[in-house]
Amino acid sequence: MAKYAGKDVIPLWVADTNFMSPPSIIKALQERVAEGIFGYGGQPKTSANAFINWAAKHYAWSVKEEWLVFLPGVVSGLNIALRAFTDETQASIAPHLIYPPFMAAANRVNRAQRYASLAISHHRWIMNLTTLQLLGNEKLLMLCNPQNPGGTVYTKDELLAQLAFAQAHDLVVCSDEIHCDLVLAPNLKHIPFASLNTDAAARSITLMAPSKTFNIAGLGASIAIIPNAKLKKQFQKTLEGVVPELNILAYSAAIAAYNDQGSWLPDQITYLRKNRDYVYQQINNMPGLNLLPIEASYLAWIDASQLPVDNPQKFFEKAGVGLSDGHAFGKDKFIRLNFGCSKILLEEALQRMQQAINKL
C-alpha cells in the first residue's frame, strides 16, 4: 500500500505485515510462474485437502470437501453472505466496533444492521448481545473472531452464548475468522464457531484465509466453509457470475500455505508476541493512551480519548506515524496500530509517538 510513499511517515495502518512469506509459498509461486502458462486454471484437486488437513491439525475440526467454497477475499464472503441470507426487509446483527466492511456490506444493499456493542469486560473487548433490542426481522448474525478491532479470542462459553442467541432468534451466522491462526495469548486457542456442535455447523458460514497468517493478502485466497447444503447452495447462487474464481497464483500460494509445516508460523507468533508486549508496555506508559491486552493478531486498538488533541490519527500522522483512525471502526478518539513489522521500525514509531506527546 503506497499511502505514505515518499513521505516520512511509518505506515502502521493497513492490516498486513512487513514479513516475507515462508519459503514454501515463495517456491510454489516461483514454480507456478516458471511454467509460463497463465490461462484459466480451475480449482486444483489438492486445494481442498490442504485446508481440510490444516483445520484438523490446528482446530481439531473435521471439515468435508463438499462444504468448501474458495473465494478471492473474505470481504467478498461477508458481502455475499449478507445478500444471500437477508432481503431488503430483513436485518443483520454485527458487533460495533467492527472492521468497517461489515457495516459497508449492509449499507451497500440497504439492509438494516443492528449493533451489539463491543464493551470492555475484565480487560477484554467483548461483544454484548444481552442488551440488544431486536425488531424481529433479523436473519443474520455476523461475528468476528478473533475480533477486529480489539483482538479478542472468544472463549468456548462466549461462543456458546453467541450460538444460544442465534438459536433463540433463528439466525444464520456468518463468522469471519480471518485472524484465527494468529492467537498470541498462550492460554487461549481459537475455536471455529461451526465446530461447537452440529447446530452451530448447520446454521453457519465460516470465513477463513491464509492471507493474514502468511502475509499473502495481496494474492486473494480465502475459503467459506458451509456445512449446510441448503445454505451453501444459496451462497453459491448469490456469488456465481459476480465473484470470480481464485486466480491460479492464489491457489498455488494457498495450497503451499496450508501445507506448510515449517517453523515460519510459530516463529512469527513468537515475534508478534514480543512486539505485542513491547507495544502494550510503551503505549500504556504514554500519558493519554490506553491499551488493553491483545489476545490475537497484530492490531493494537488504542484508546486516545484522554489525549488533548482533536484527532489522534492526524496528530500522530503529523508526527510521522500512520495509524488507522478509530472513526472508521465506529469510535472517534481511538487509533489502531499495526505491530506486524520489525522491532526496529516499531521502536522508531513508538519513539515518534512519545516525542509528539511530550511536546503537547
The correct pick among 29, 75, 159, 300 for binding ligand PLP (CB under 6 A) is: 75
| Amino acid letter for position 298 | Y
Residue 275 binding ligand PLP, by CB under 6 A: no
Task: Tell which residue, 358, 357, 317, has the closest CA to residue 337.
Answer: 317
Residue 171 neighbours by CB under 8 Å, 6+ apart: 93, 138, 139, 140, 141, 165, 203
The correct pick among 178, 250, 292, 294 for binding ligand PLP (CB under 6 A) is: 178
CA–CA distance, 113 with 135 (Å, rounded to integer): 11
Q: Crossing angle, helix 101-108 and helix 74-85, to 10 degrees?
A: 40
Task: Output 320 or 322, the one with its CB closest to ligand PLP.
Answer: 322
Give the single-character DSSP code of 67: G
Please say whether the beta carbons of 161 and 155 come within 8 A.
no
Residue 217 binding ligand PLP, by CB under 6 A: yes
At 155 the three-state DSSP class reads coil
Choices 120-128, 209-217, 240-248, 282-290; region in contact with ligand PLP by CB under 6 A: 209-217
The correct pick among 86, 152, 195, 222 for binding ligand PLP (CB under 6 A) is: 222
Q: How far is the CB of 15 from ligand PLP (least distance, A)?
A: 3
Q: How far is the CB of 218 from ligand PLP (least distance, A)?
A: 9
Q: How far is the CB of 360 from ligand PLP (least distance, A)?
A: 31
Choices 32-40, 70-78, 122-130, 274-282; region in contact with ligand PLP by CB under 6 A: 70-78
Residue 152 binding ligand PLP, by CB under 6 A: no
The correct pick among 47, 148, 162, 206 for binding ligand PLP (CB under 6 A) is: 148
The correct pick among 21, 152, 206, 211 for binding ligand PLP (CB under 6 A) is: 211
Applying CB under 6 A, the site for ligand PLP has a residue count of 13
CA–CA distance, 82 with 84 (Å, rounded to integer): 6
CA–CA distance, 195 with 296 (Å, rounded to integer): 19
CA–CA distance, 83 with 104 (Å, rounded to integer): 12
Alpha-carbon distances, residue 266 vs 52, 122, 258, 263, 296 (angstroms): 20, 28, 14, 5, 13
CA–CA distance, 190 with 56 (Å, rounded to integer): 13
By CB atoms closer than 10 A (0-12, 13-18, 19+), residue 236 is: middle
Residue 121 neighbours by CB under 8 Å, 6+ apart: 128
Task: Output 209 or 272, the one with its CB closest to ligand PLP.
Answer: 209
Task: Output 221 or 286, the one with its CB closest to ligand PLP.
Answer: 221
The correct pick among 74, 171, 219, 335 for binding ligand PLP (CB under 6 A) is: 74
Written as nine digits, the cell of 310 is 482533536
Task: Tell which residue, 110, 67, 118, has the closest CA to residue 87.
Answer: 110
- Which position's Cβ is nearest ligand PLP? 73
Write down the residue that cell numbers 508478534 correspond to.
272
Q: How far is the CB of 3 from ligand PLP (least distance, A)?
A: 15
Residue ranges in 77-116 that form contacts with ligand PLP under rule CB under 6 A: 99
The correct pick among 9, 10, 12, 15 for binding ligand PLP (CB under 6 A) is: 15
Q: How far is the CB of 329 from ligand PLP (least distance, A)?
A: 10
Per CB under 6 A, residues contacting ligand PLP are: 15, 73-75, 99, 144, 148, 176, 178, 209, 211, 217, 222
